[in-house]
Chains A and B, each alone.
Chain A
Amino acid sequence: MFFQNLQKVLRQNIREYGMYIALFVIMLIFAITTKGTFVSARNLSNLLNQTGYIAVLAVGMTLVIVVRHIDLSVGFLAGFIGAVAAIALAKWGMPVYVVIPLVLVIGAIAGLITAFPVAQLGIPSFVASLAGWLIYRGFLQLVTAGTGTIIIADKAFNAIGNDFIPDIPIKILPNMHFLTLLVGVAAIVLFVLSEISRRQKQEVYSFEVLPKDIFILKLIFISALVGAITWVLSSYNGISWTVVIMLAVVGIYHFITTQTVLGRHIYAVGGNPDAAELSGISVKRIIYVVFGSMGMLSALSGILFASRLQSATTTAGTLFELDAIAAAYVGGVSAAGGVGRVAGSIIGALVMTSLTSGMNLMNVDISYQYIVRGAVLAAAVIFDVATRRASK
């Protein structure tokens, strides 16, 4: 009975669970091929920090693709804005608490500029953002031309990409980051409680719910996963600020997309723009909002990257946009519009960075790395289309 249920649930939700399974399989393979180095505390911590700047882009890109558009300009926009932040800190001597909000606003404005020809004139976003790609690349080279790499000395700024949250001075377990453990436990408890209350509500309305044994399995599985990650992280330096920011972004965007009127409007526009317009939703406004948010997240990505390198470079942001797009697709967004979860894109980003990190550890040549990542992307999209067709 249990296995029948499991089989049925997996088959019905294969598209949703597929990427989790893929991530698990990829991590397992690398764990074996690197003789455990891949799943070491240090490497996992690094992996999450590397995922950060792609993950925030992937979150924004998911919404852009949901409304049936694309934004190619985000990589060099992130690079350029990282450079702006570096200049503001290093040359203009502005304090970090001014610089960060300032560059986020600049990013949002840049996104709105990309949106303008798309929303007002119906220019394909591919072209509009390709123009942005070229322009921001030029800007980036322009502002870094004099000095080349701009070194950032600001400690607070550099902490974002390199430091970890402080621990509280309670030492119950030696050599463990206690606050991280606490956060992990709290997350598990919150998750279990919210899942149970949601299930109860669904049962009241007699909606379809998972069979009870599968539901419990799912709770145990996810709790164990979160628990394991927390355990591994707290045995190293704990949770990094990058991870905090990444989780905050995902949390906020998950809330907006699933709980708010704005989120519903975004998915409605993606699902059927004509119907959305006739339902009194301004499609133009939604396009501005989505591209504006994309621009802001590009700025955030730029901050994370510059902070991680403690400097702005002339090549910062190269190919970020493609990683973000790939992450969104691996995370289950559909090019046909209206489908795709923010949380999925984070998993997609993890898949893509895991591939890079794992193959680096294995000393795989960079050329093969590109080929493998391309193949994984293609496989993800083919899988998506095939399962979508099967479910019709």
Chain B
Amino acid sequence: MSTPILEMKNITKEFPGVKALNNVSFRVAQGEIHCLVGENGAGKSTLMKVLSGVYPYGTYSGDILLGGAVQRYRGIRDSEHAGVAIIYQELALIPELTVYENIFLGNEIRNGPLVNWNETIKRAGEMLDKVRLKVNPAAKIKDLGVGKQQLVEIAKALSRDIKLLILDEPTAALNEDDSANLLNLLRELRENGVTCILISHKLKEVIEIADSVTVLRDGQTICTLDAHKGEVFEGALIKHMVGREIDNIYPKREHKEPGEVVLEVRGWNAYDPGLGRTILRDVSMYVRRGEIVGVAGLMGSGRTELAMSIFGNPLGYQIKGELLMKGKPQTFREPQDAIRAGVAYVTEDRKGNGLILIQDVKENITLANLHAIAHRGVIDSNAEIKIANEYKVSLNIKTPSVEQRVSNLSGGNQQKVCLGKWLFVKPDLLILDEPTRGIDVGAKFEIYTLMNRLVDQGMSIIMISSELPEVLGMSDRVYIVSSGRITGELPIAEATPEKVMRLATN
């Protein structure tokens, strides 16, 4: 192996209660395309945030060497200065500005205090040639498709003197053609000596393009594989990615014969007018009484969009398809309709759209069903406290009192407040979106136990999760989602991690 351009040695990064990175070492050779793979939560993004200075020097332990020199970034500016360019999944372009303005944003070509627009436009054209993008440099970013925007981002990165180009899931939002284009471009850049780190969930493209692959799992480096020695193939990658044993953190439940169908969607399509693309294609699925249906899929596969589109469509997608609740066709115009019909949705983003952080535990728990504790619109505050205390006890929410603000609770307890809120609605169907994201093992176990108790009582649960062991440990049946389609349905007995991962990376 040639000399490493980048070496990260024994990086450890802790968050309160969690070791996100545990003694990770990572070497990238000059001029190669190095892929970084792992499940969601394996630590890939954290590692890249350490590398790009989002987590500044001193907040982690270990060393970063770029071209042999130790780096101590105090912020993103420092890493950019040193020649590290990172392109995130959510593009950092300004839609209302033109292509050339975006390319040189923050790096303007100046004539004294003024911007030299002539030179800017000329140089922007050269950059666009480099990335093989044929657009008018004066076009506005918002008028370009996602694929082209991605190329503009790369052009922007190349306009600086970079040593290392990092792409985080660049093809997640792209269609086949755009993806192929991008991969070709990366190959060309490799010819020209650019070193590239690619984070990807799509194993096919990893196999296609990587010189070497590093697998992360649970915040640790599992191995680095060399493609030129034939070590990179699907089986090996999947084995290393999911290699953890599914131990007894999943409480046992007797798989009973499920009851009648509670919710079914047929030929379900959703188009997002904001993004301008179809996000769900021809999805058909059903849930029966008393079963836990797992929905496995990687980030950006359309899992959350599926849940949102069923739950009253608050984001305003254009939907085609049939939705049946207990056999009757239904249209949910807003979440209120879905709640009335007996559906509850626990969001994946409890801080963003799950909880009202500035309000207290009891106000959050009763929010979705206030009329149950009100007479003629006036809230019975005694009843409210009683209900909140019941959920505090039954869900074991650790809080000094139900008058505590939820922003002061830990992640696990916040999640329990979310669950309490939706259980108080007394739903027939509970949709859980990443129910255990960012919470500790103890609270996870409690949530799993609760789920089992609920289905025993006859509730139905759809559990969306990117944690494969969780899906396999808890579900009766699994749907796999990829690129907005259902790519498979497996009864739990047939669902192996390898099979599911293969369908999810399809």
Contact = CB atoms under 8 A, between A and B. Distances in A.
Interface of A: 201, 205-208, 259-262, 264-265, 267-268, 271-272, 274-282, 338-339
A287 to B, nearest CB: 14
B368 to A, nearest CB: 4
B421 A279 contact: yes
Contacts of A261: 370-371, 374, 377-379
Contacts of B400: 208
Contacts, number: 86
A227 to B, nearest CB: 29
Given A272-B353, A272-B356, A205 B371 contact: no
Interface stretch (B11-19, B51-59, B357-365): B357-365
A201 B401 CA distance: 14
Nearest to B380: A259
In this complex, the interface size class of chain B, counting residues with CB under 8 Å from chain A, is 35 or more
Contacts of A264: 363, 367, 370, 379
Nearest to B371: A261
22 contacts: A205-B385, A205-B401, A206-B401, A207-B401, A259-B381, A260-B378, A261-B370, A261-B371, A261-B378, A261-B379, A265-B370, A268-B359, A268-B363, A271-B358, A274-B314, A275-B347, A275-B367, A276-B356, A276-B367, A277-B335, A278-B335, A282-B334
Contacts of B377: 260-262
A277 B314 contact: yes
B284 interface: no
A271 B357 contact: yes
Contact of A259 (B340, B352, B367, B379): B379
Contacts of A260: 374, 377-379
A208 B360 CA distance: 13
Given A275-B353, A280-B368, A208 B403 contact: yes
B128 interface: no
Contacts of B371: 261
Contacts of A280: 334-336, 339-340, 368
Nearest to A392: B407
A271 B356 CA distance: 6
Given A262-B377, A267-B356, 15 more contacts: A201-B382, A208-B401, A261-B371, A261-B378, A264-B379, A268-B363, A268-B367, A272-B353, A272-B355, A272-B357, A276-B367, A278-B335, A278-B345, A278-B354, A279-B367
A278 B345 CA distance: 8
Interface in B265-319: 311, 314
Contacts of B359: 267-268, 271, 338
B179 interface: no
A267 B355 CA distance: 13
B389 interface: yes
Contacts of B381: 259
A206 B404 CA distance: 12
A228 to B, nearest CB: 32
A276 to B, nearest CB: 7
A207 B353 contact: no
Nearest to B347: A278
Nearest to B340: A280
B368 A279 contact: yes
B266 to A, nearest CB: 25
Given A262-B377, A279-B368, A280-B335, A274 B352 contact: yes
A205 B389 contact: yes
Interface in B326-356: 334-336, 339-340, 345, 347, 352-356
Nearest to A265: B370
Contacts of B336: 280-282
Contacts of B311: 278
A272 B349 CA distance: 12
Contacts of B334: 277, 280, 282
Contacts of B314: 274, 277-278
Contacts of A339: 358
Nearest to B334: A282
B470 to A, nearest CB: 23
A284 to B, nearest CB: 9
In the complex, which of the residues A205, A268, A279 has the most CB atoms of chain B within 10 Å of its own CB atom? A279
Interface in B86-106: none
A277 B353 CA distance: 9
A201 B382 CA distance: 9
Interface in B119-151: none
Nearest to A259: B378
A207 B388 CA distance: 13
Contacts of A274: 314, 352-353
Nearest to B407: A392
Contacts of A282: 334, 336
Contacts of A259: 378-379, 381
A40 B367 CA distance: 48
A352 B153 CA distance: 52
B354 A338 contact: no
Contact of A279 (B335, B358, B374): B335
In the complex, which of the residues B371, B378, B400 has the most CB atoms of chain A within 10 Å of its own CB atom? B378
In the complex, which of the residues A208, A260, A268, A275 has the most CB atoms of chain B within 10 Å of its own CB atom? A275
A275 B356 contact: yes
A338 B355 CA distance: 13
Contacts of B357: 271-272
A271 B405 CA distance: 12
Contacts of A268: 356, 359, 363, 367
A104 to B, nearest CB: 21
Q: Sorted from nearest, which 7 A-B pairs have the closest CB atoms?
A: A274-B353, A271-B356, A280-B336, A279-B368, A280-B339, A261-B370, A272-B356
Interface string B1-45: 000000000000000000000000000000000000000000000
A280 B342 CA distance: 12
A262 B377 CA distance: 7
Interface string B445-474: 000000000000000000000000000000
Interface string B399-428: 011110000000000000000010000000
A238 B172 CA distance: 73
A281 B339 CA distance: 10
A272 B358 CA distance: 9
